[in-house]
Chain A
Amino acid sequence: MNWFPLYNSLRVAAVSSVIVFFTGIAAAYYIAKLPRLAKGILDVVLTLPLVLPPTVVGYLLLLVFGPRRVVGAWVLAQWGVKLTMQWWSAILAVTVVVFPLMYRTARGAFESFDETLAHAGRTLGLSNTYIFWRIRMPYCRQGILAGTVLAFARALGEYGATSMIAGYTPGKTATISTEVYQLWRTGDDAMAIRWVLVNIAISAAVLLAVNLLEKRGKRSVRKDV
């Protein structure tokens, strides 16, 4: 059995999750401070990929990054690199699809933060960076951790946008989800079942991890009381 799709899925999901972790948190933090109108508009725009069909997201990405489109053509002319049909093209698709999950859970977590703690930190002379990383983030870690794991799980399973922008090239851009589709299409049931089982095993492990994290969080709270 060729394990490339598993390896490729994991690296795409891992890189996307890291990108989304920082951009999602930054967006949640700064957008919360904007005036109401700007906040409302940005909120809709940033959450849209969550509700749009992944194929629509993929199509929109191709409109921008396709080799004959604005950005795609420019990068091709400058560096001779095609932005689509590479293994890392999938990162682009997965990041956009998964971003709203991280953004929304981080925003929910930040909204529950007691702003008095930040005020207290400032009057004590603490820098805003220190307050963010040492006070705000630990306070919100439950929500942010949950968002990260959810984002990772969703990233592993992304199919629609990925297949449009990275396609399916065995040993190059194949992921678990595109591999399963390909095996089904070619009637290779035995292999398809194997990959389905692998996929179920990974997803179950991730969900188990989420549950364990939540339980541990609860226990530490109870101990504090």
Chain B
Amino acid sequence: MALTVDIEKKLGDFHLSVSLETDHEVLALLGASGCGKSVTLQCIAGIETPDRGRIVLNGRTLFDSEKRINLAPQKRRVGYLFQQYALFPDMTVEQNILTGLRSKPKAERRALLEQKLRAFRLDGLEKRRPSQLSGGQQQRVALARILASEPEVLLLDEPFSALDSYLKWQVELELLDTLRDFGGDVLFVSHSRDEVCRMCRSVCVLSHGRSEGKQAVERLMDAPETVSAALLSGCKNYSRIERVDAHHARCLDWGVTLETSREIAPDIAYVGIRAHSLRGPEQSGRNLIPCRVERVINDAFSVIFMLSTPGGAAGRSLLRAEYPKEDRPDFRASDEISLSVRPEHVLPLAGGGL
């Protein structure tokens, strides 16, 4: 039971090249906006047609450019949750869900509808129009409608983007339950590493239309391998490097040489350091970075220091360090300090994207 996608599509200057595979799981497709996430979903659903490649769902070929197979969206059994949910505005909640049940015998539809209304806590809302529902209720109707049509795979396109932030958490918890009950394969498209961490176990990074290999979410957070993956995982600091040896890199943008725990392969062009990995102030020790405090910014529960590294390249020598409020060091603007970073927190990264 799996979804295999290996497709290419040209859209003007944009070249989409995606290769991914789900295996009984919720797979995240993580990418910045405009990286081709939605087009990928549209190709899988049959709304867009790839130029080349194939899409196979549980052994059924949905698309194959060589064998000239291109199933209509109606025949793919792919459930698509659109960003704005795409509820039919002129139908009631009940009628919307019934559209997902039209392949069922008439006699069974009523009972299945009742069952979905109950499962998605929509009792009492049957006669409402979508515009009379809250964002969370709209999503429940959309999910009920999709699951009524019994898809073999679910495609979720940024399912929380249309929601107010105070609603998000509740809807997220509900969606987790829904996905567990669904049991089939799910492709979860998002630009938020936090959502991905909470919803998924494995992730496929998509940057500038190209997909990177599937990996565990923890691996993306602990040891991203490329600059684009690190960016999406929330890493804030990057420097071009010159490789000294397998565990030492001269950081051109910061003007220091840092030790890394992970081996620096010859194709490594960057290192990254997360904002909360920078610690100090330190007087002496390994992996020290001399900096000058440029700005102090108060966030809700943390303090962010914007730093420049006097030894680094002009214009690229900025660092960002973040401390929890209760541990904040007493740095002031234009202080000269040294921060340290542990070798396991210096992430060797391949590829461009900066």
Segment among B99-107, B238-246, B305-313, B346-354 that sits at the interface with chain A: B99-107
Q: Which of B76-84, B160-168, B265-273 contacts A (4 or more CB under 8 A)?
A: B76-84
Contact check: which of A117, A120, A126 meets B102 at CB < 8 Å?
A: A126
Q: Shortest distance in angstroms between B89's beta carbon and chain A's nearest beta carbon?
A: 7
Name B82's contact: one of A116, A127, A134 (CB within 8 Å).
Answer: A116
Q: How many residues of B contact A (CB 8 A)?
A: 29
Asked if B73 and A119 make an inter-chain contact with CB atoms under 8 angstroms apart, the answer reads: yes
Q: Evaluate contact between B82 and A126: CB separation under 8 angstroms.
A: no
Q: Is B129 an interface residue (CB 8 A)?
A: yes
Indicate if the CB atoms of A224 and B132 lie closer than 8 Å.
Answer: yes
Residues from 101 to 133 in B contacting A, C-beta threshold 8 Å: 102-103, 129, 131-132
Instruction: Give the docked Cα–Cα distance between A116 and B157 (Å).
Output: 13
**Roughly how many angstroms separate A216 CA and B80 CA in the complex, as a whole number?**
34
Cβ of A124 to closest chain B Cβ, rounded Å: 5
Residues B129 and A119 in contact, CB atoms below 8 Å apart: no
In Å, the complex CA distance between A127 and B131 comes to 25
CB pair B99 A121 closer than 8 Å: yes
Contact B73 A224 (CB under 8 A): no
Contact A123 B80 (CB under 8 A): yes
A122 within 8 A of partner (CB): yes
Whether A80 sits at the interface, judged by CB under 8 Å, is no
Question: At the interface, yes or no: A135 with Cβ under 8 Å from chain B?
Answer: yes
Q: A119-B45, A224-B131, A224-B132 are in contact. Are A126 and B86 (CB under 8 A)?
A: no
Does B99 lie within 8 Å of A126, measured CB to CB?
Answer: yes
- Min distance, Cβ A197 to any Cβ of chain B, angstroms: 40
**B47 contacts chain A at the CB level, 8 A cutoff:** yes
Asked whether, in the complex, the Cβ of A122 is within 8 Å of the Cβ of B72, the reply is: yes
Interface membership of chain A positions 100-124, coded 1 if the CB is closer than 8 angstroms to chain B and 0 otherwise: 0000000000000010110111111
Which of A117, A123, A135 meets B78, CB within 8 Å? A123
Within 8 A of A (CB), among B60-95: 72-76, 78-80, 82, 84, 86, 88-91
Per-residue B-contact encoding for A118-161, CB less than 8 Å = 1, 0 else? 01111111110010001100110000000000000000000000
On whether the beta carbons of A123 and B73 are closer than 8 Å, the reply is: yes
Q: Write the nearest CB–CB distance from B218 to chain A, whole angstroms.
A: 32
Query: In this assembly, does A225 line the interface, its C-beta being within 8 Å of a C-beta of chain B?
Result: yes
Q: Which residue of A lies closest to B74 (CB)?
A: A125
Q: Are A125 and B102 in contact (CB under 8 A)?
A: yes
Query: Which residues 195-225 in A have Cβ within 8 Å of B in the complex?
Result: 224-225
Contacting residues, chain A, for B47 (C-beta < 8 A): 119, 122-123
Majority-rule SS of B interface residues:
loop
Tell whether, in the assembled complex, residue B74 and residue A122 are in contact, meaning their CB atoms are under 8 Å apart: yes
Give the docked Cα–Cα distance between A56 and B79 (Å): 55
CA distance A123 to B153 in the complex (A): 11
B149 touching A124, Cβ below 8 Å: yes
Complex formed: what's the CA distance from A199 to B21 in Å? Answer: 70
| Contact yes or no, A224 B129, CB < 8 A | yes
B74 near A126: Cβ-Cβ < 8 Å: yes
Asked if B146 lies at the interface with its beta carbon under 8 angstroms from chain A, I say: yes
Cα distance A117–B47 when bound, in Å? 12
Q: A225 contacts B86, CB within 8 Å?
A: no
Contacts of B146 on A, CB cut-off 8 Å?
A: 124
- Contact residues in B for A130 (Cβ distance below 8 Å): 102
Q: Once bound together, how far apart are the Cα atoms of A117 and B83, in whole Å?
A: 12
Residue numbers in B under 8 Å from A124 (CB-CB): 99-100, 145-146, 149
Q: Are B86 and A139 in contact (CB under 8 A)?
A: no
5 CB contacts below 8 A, A to B, read A123-B74, A123-B79, A126-B74, A127-B74, A135-B88
Binding site for A on B (CB under 8 A): 42, 45-47, 72-76, 78-80, 82, 84, 86, 88-91, 99-100, 102-103, 129, 131-132, 145-146, 149
Given contacts A119-B45, A123-B74, A124-B149, 19 further A-B contacts (CB under 8 A): A116-B84, A119-B42, A119-B47, A120-B82, A121-B99, A122-B46, A122-B72, A123-B45, A123-B73, A123-B78, A124-B100, A124-B145, A125-B74, A125-B102, A135-B88, A135-B90, A138-B90, A139-B90, A225-B131
